[in-house]
Amino acid sequence: MIALAEAIVDRVAAVDWAAIATSLDAHGFAALPALLDQAECGTLAAMYADDHRFRSRIDMTRYRFGAGEYKYFAAPLPGVVQSLREALYEQLAPIANAWSQRLHLKSETRNLKYPAALAEFLKLCQERGQSRPTPLLLTYSAGGYNCLHQDIYGDVAFPLQAVFALSRAGVDYEGGEFLLVEQRPRAQSRGHALRLEQGAGLVFATRERPVAGGRGDYRVTMRHGVSTVTSGARMTLGIIFHDAK
């Protein structure tokens, strides 16, 4: 497991993060290459059956979130999930700080400065009563979907998050595109439907992103969800960097 954790760090470091930053600035999302292989995806997916690994289970239908369910991992996180969370955060923190400056966000957390390391950021979450881990596995069968939403769990929120496909689009399931919708000021909303390949991921805005305008940057609100799975079963790993109350 130590070797796998080190491999994950190396894979994340090898990503073209300049290109990721450019895509995030232009679109509010950016594709990540396959950071997990087929066996690693299978191992993560198999964890879903072990309730001892999770702190809670959510039935989407019960809460009118959609049709499907998800489980939040309990602490300590599985090694591969912890490594992904730490390594991705380290690369995304500079982008998050640049976004905060562009949006002139007011915050009580160190003058808008996101710490360089995840552990330091999670201390800020704990200081505001947010101590429950938020990485999760989400599963859908035929007819399942996820309504458009934002993953905000308290006063402290990291402006970016990630999702990884554990199932094979076109083989394990059909439909189930990842959806992103941006609500532009004084304009109609724009949507994106994205297909994720197994092991690959997507980084996207948690709540809002800066967009350059004629009078400077302005905020665009973003929400995400999943379109209806028309057949088969779909599972993903969600990496959220702020913890929950």
Asked if 98 and 114 touch (Cβ cutoff 8 Å), the reply is no
In order of 12, 36, 191, 198, 242, the CA distances from 174 in angstroms are 28, 21, 20, 13, 31
In order of 7, 8, 209, the CA distances from 3 in angstroms are 6, 9, 36
How many residues are present in the chain?
Answer: 245
Average pLDDT over residues 156-173: 98
Residue 125 lies in a domain: yes
Residue 83 lies in a domain: yes
Asked if 205 and 237 touch (Cβ cutoff 8 Å), the reply is no
Residue 47 lies in a domain: yes
What is the overall mean pLDDT for the chain?
Answer: 94
Residue 95 lies in a domain: yes
Which domain covers residue 146, as residue numbers? 2-239
**Selection from 241, 184, 243 nearest residue 209 by Cα:** 184
CATH, residue 217 = 2.60.120.620
Integer Cα distance of 232 and 38 in angstroms: 18
Q: Any idea what DSSP says for residue 52?
A: G
pLDDT reading at 3 higher than 90: no
Integer Cα distance of 186 and 90 in angstroms: 35
Integer Cα distance of 107 and 55 in angstroms: 29
Residue 245 lies in a domain: no
Integer Cα distance of 146 and 197 in angstroms: 18
Query: What is the pLDDT at residue 108?
Result: 44
Asked if 71 and 58 touch (Cβ cutoff 8 Å), the reply is yes
Query: What is the pLDDT at residue 1?
Result: 58
Query: What is the pLDDT at residue 107?
Result: 46
Residue 186 lies in a domain: yes
Degrees (nearest 5) of the Cα angle 184, 188, 189?
65
Residue 224 lies in a domain: yes
Higher pLDDT, 220 or 6: 220
- End-to-end, the C-alpha distance of the chain in Å comes to 30
**Selection from 69, 66, 71 nearest residue 44 by Cα:** 71
- Tens-place pLDDT, residues 84-96: 999 999 999 999 9
Degrees (nearest 5) of the Cα angle 15, 39, 49?
115
* 3-class DSSP state of 43: helix
pTM of the complete model beyond 0.75: yes
Q: How many helices (H) and strands (E) does the chain have?
A: 6, 14
Q: Any idea what DSSP says for residue 229?
A: E
Higher pLDDT, 1 or 178: 178
Overall domain count for the chain = 1
Hey, CA dihedral for 194, 155, 124, 77, is it positive or negative? Answer: negative
- Tens-place pLDDT, residues 139-155: 999 999 999 999 999 99
Residue 21 lies in a domain: yes
- Tens-place pLDDT, residues 96-125: 999 998 887 544 444 468 999 999 999 999
Structure tokens at 222: 């973003």
Asked if 123 and 242 touch (Cβ cutoff 8 Å), the reply is no
